Chains A and B, each alone.
Chain A
Amino acid sequence: MIGRKLANRLRLIVSYIVLVILAVCALYPALWVVLASFRPGKSLYSKTLIPESFTLEHYRELFTSNTFMFTHWYMNTLKIALFSMIFGVLLTLLTSYAVSRFRFRARKTALSTILVLGMFPGFMSMIAIFLLLKELNLLDTHMALIIVYACGAPLGGTLIAKGFFDTIPRSLDEAARIDGASNFMIFRKIILPLSRPMLTYMALTQFVGPWVDFIFARLILRTKDNWTLAVGLWDIVNTSQNSNFTLFAAASVFIAIPIIILFIFLQRLLVDGLTSGASKG
């Protein structure tokens, strides 16, 4: 009996040690960047993890610098992310509601098509989209990004959202239909209120996408005035790898904060969103 207790204790101690090591590994990069953003000077190299003195200079630089138009880019990104979130979620809802609730010819084909198209490497089609946008005179506009992000949204989100809609009992629809509700009313009054977790999940992923996409944004947005945060951030790292590291750190902190806050608040919903795809596998 004593032997078993001892073994149990040992197991817990080892587990805690491993957990602490893992937690340090998980937190270290984040901590390092936050501390670096308060460090005087510009270089990547620092003798100690915790700087000898703290400064807010880099944050000030973010908002005053002429070459790094941080506030401008922040507003650009916010605008693009919000609009593409709204339209993207709307399009995804339309698609997934239609394929979940109605049985029509070519439905299975539509589902498989969505799945396959979603697997296509996105930037393979970039050149074509680039040329198309050129034809439409939309190059270097935010509208172009919003259209492309929103139109791409159903490919990524439909299957997950459909899986969720499938779990809403169809007897609810039928009851409403007997009461004389039209398809639109059923959608608005029954399906939408019940799918709040799914809506949040979709909105979050749609919002974060434009926030961090630099590949496509870099191709479309040519003038520095129109850039998004991701393009700007990538530009600092690529043009001045070590010489301007602390500024990069400060910018990273600012970009990551809203998203981290969203994630922490919506943790529960995210887990549900992630697992809803899996549990019905």
Chain B
Amino acid sequence: MDRHRTRATILSILSLGLGQIYNRQYIKGAIFLLVEVLGIAYFINYLSFAFWGITTLGDTPTGFVKFKSASGIMVSKLVQGDHSIIIMIQSLITLLFLTLFIIAYIMNIKDANRIGSLRDAGHKPNNFKQSVRYILDYKFAQVFLVLPAIGILFFTIMPIIFMIMLAFTNYSAPDHIPPAKLVNWVGFETFTNLVSLGTWSHTFYGVLTWTIIWAVLSTVTTYFGGMLVALLVSQQGIKFKGMWRTLLIIPYAIPQLISLLVMKNLFNGQFGPINQYFGYFGLGGLPWLTDPFWAKVTVIVVNMWVGIPVSMLLIMGVLTTIPKDMYEAAEVDGATGFQKFKIVTLPMILFTTAPTLITQFAGNINNFNAIYLLTAGNPVNGDYQYAGSTDLLVTWLYKLTLDQNKNNMASAVGIIIFVIVASFSIYNYRRTRSFKEEDMIQ
């Protein structure tokens, strides 16, 4: 009884589109066939190269090759060898296409199978117009997602896979930089070096500690700073609330790139106005950006300037949603102002902004701009490998890649940052109501 189903399935396994043509869906079949022709034309040229490339990362180094010239003398000539990194990315792209092709193949088999069994049950298969209609009505979301998904696949996922792969190679200066030298797979060596090899591990733990201190301090200072300012402005009896809010919001409206570069000049130890004003009061200037300790203080203070307005806006928004009768009830019970804050305001704010707080914490771990534009990670720390005293893991990673070409180390650091940040975010998102109860709304 399942004659059509078996035949269509077998035909579709033999070649893309055949099953559909057997099912008399000619246009659909032709489209699948076209995909197959294009795919085969592409893979004939590239697939074996991709498998070879991804396993060996190239095997001919650039070098002089001796050969006999026409006149019979031995001469040596520079021959370009394999560029391991380019081979790696080309192979990766080909393999991604292969994955897409395999997905198309599976879809084709499933489709032939389904239509075949429909025919066995005595239904007439959809013609092309009906198929399109069906997709738009029932598979709309998937169709909608195709375009963003392709963009994300090639410009986010592919680069991430590439970087993860790099962490397992020896792609680093000075000995393994293509095109002069080849790059090889080394397994977990990079990670072991990072956590156990003298200077590297010292730098890694030092920078990691400061990253965590920074993330905690910068989140806490901006959050509670913002809360204080919000409470101050929305106090009973304060006039011109809108004006105060607009004034205090200004730092948020100035693009960070500009405000941070301006701050860098403001805190300039020699010529900056801050030290100049200190001078007026007879105080000596402070080495704001050049002393390891003061540089850390400066980045946190400047980050407060940048971050407090955002928290203020957020918390002011929450304050307006707290029901008045809660305060009235507290007053009836004889609560003082501070008690009202402790019992009503604070829990309400914390409850509603907790997810944002965690997001901010995760964002601060990766806060590249705040550090790089202000201190560039400096002052340089002599004990560290290519890192300064205010460097976060991200800025260190940036220096390792772009300035030092220690790409494999940088990738390993990146993977570690990613694991830390991602676990916070996933935990955070999974426990929010909007994730758990999303179908409860309306």
- On A, residues with C-beta under 8 Å from B are 8, 11-12, 15-16, 18-19, 22-23, 25-27, 29-30, 32-33, 43-46, 49, 91-92, 94-95, 97-99, 101-102, 104, 107, 110-112, 115-117, 119-121, 123-129, 131-132, 135, 147-148, 150-152, 154-155, 159, 163, 166-167, 169-171, 182-184, 208, 211-212, 214-215, 219, 230, 233-234, 237, 241-242, 245, 248, 252, 255-256, 259-260, 263-264, 267, 270-271, 274-275, 277-281
Q: Nearest 5 A-B pairs (CB), nearest first? A: A125-B159, A102-B141, A128-B159, A151-B151, A263-B253
Among B151, B232, B398, B432: residue with most chain A CB under 10 A: B151
Interface residues on B, range: 35 or more
Closest A residue by C-beta to B310:
A274
Among A12, A116, A255: residue with most chain B CB under 10 A: A116
Tell me, rounded to whole Å, the shortest Cβ–Cβ distance linking B167 to chain A. 10
- On B, residues with C-beta under 8 Å from A are 85-86, 89-90, 93, 136-137, 139-142, 144-145, 147-148, 151-152, 154-160, 162-163, 166, 229, 232-233, 235, 237-238, 244, 246-259, 261-266, 268, 270-273, 276, 305, 309-310, 313-314, 316-318, 321, 351-356, 362, 366, 368, 394, 397-398, 401-402, 407, 410-411, 414, 417-418, 421-422, 425-426, 429, 432-435, 438, 441-442
Given the contacts A104-B141, A277-B356, A278-B318, A132 and B256 also touching, CB distance less than 8 Å: no
Apart from A23-B248, A125-B160, A280-B432: 14 A-B pairs, beta carbons within 8 A = A12-B238, A22-B232, A29-B305, A46-B273, A91-B147, A94-B145, A115-B426, A121-B366, A124-B417, A131-B86, A183-B140, A237-B264, A275-B317, A279-B321
19 contacts between A and B (CB under 8 A): A19-B238, A27-B247, A32-B262, A32-B266, A91-B147, A98-B142, A104-B141, A119-B422, A150-B151, A151-B152, A151-B155, A152-B156, A166-B441, A212-B257, A241-B265, A242-B271, A248-B265, A279-B321, A280-B432
Q: Is the CB of B401 within 8 A of A127?
A: yes
Assembled-state Cα–Cα distance A11/B76 (Å): 88
Assembled-state Cα–Cα distance A129/B151 (Å): 12
Among B238, B250, B272, B417: residue with most chain A CB under 10 A: B250
Q: Is the CB of B314 within 8 A of A275?
A: yes
Q: Is the CB of A215 within 8 A of B368?
A: yes
Q: Is the CB of A104 within 8 A of B442?
A: no
Assembled-state Cα–Cα distance A280/B137 (Å): 30
Q: Is the CB of A116 within 8 A of B159?
A: no
Q: Is the CB of A127 within 8 A of B238?
A: no
Given the contacts A44-B268, A120-B160, A29 and B262 also touching, CB distance less than 8 Å: yes
Assembled-state Cα–Cα distance A44/B368 (Å): 26
Tell me, rounded to whole Å, the shortest Cβ–Cβ distance linking B360 to chain A. 11
Chain B residues with Cβ under 8 A from A11's Cβ?
235
Assembled-state Cα–Cα distance A129/B438 (Å): 35
Tell me, rounded to whole Å, the shortest Cβ–Cβ distance linking B406 to chain A. 12
Chain B residues with Cβ under 8 A from A127's Cβ?
159, 162-163, 166, 401, 407
Tell me, rounded to whole Å, the shortest Cβ–Cβ distance linking A247 to chain B. 12
Chain B residues with Cβ under 8 A from A245's Cβ?
265
Q: Is the CB of A29 within 8 A of B259?
A: yes
Q: Is the CB of B272 within 8 A of A117?
A: no
Assembled-state Cα–Cα distance A27/B249 (Å): 9
Q: Is the CB of A124 within 8 A of B258?
A: no
Tell me, rounded to whole Å, the shortest Cβ–Cβ distance linking A23 to chain B. 5
Given the contacts A15-B232, A44-B272, A121-B366, A132 and B89 also touching, CB distance less than 8 Å: yes
Chain A residues with Cβ under 8 A from B148's Cβ?
91-92, 94-95, 151, 154
Closest A residue by C-beta to B242:
A267
Q: Is the CB of B354 within 8 A of A281?
A: yes
Assembled-state Cα–Cα distance A279/B322 (Å): 12
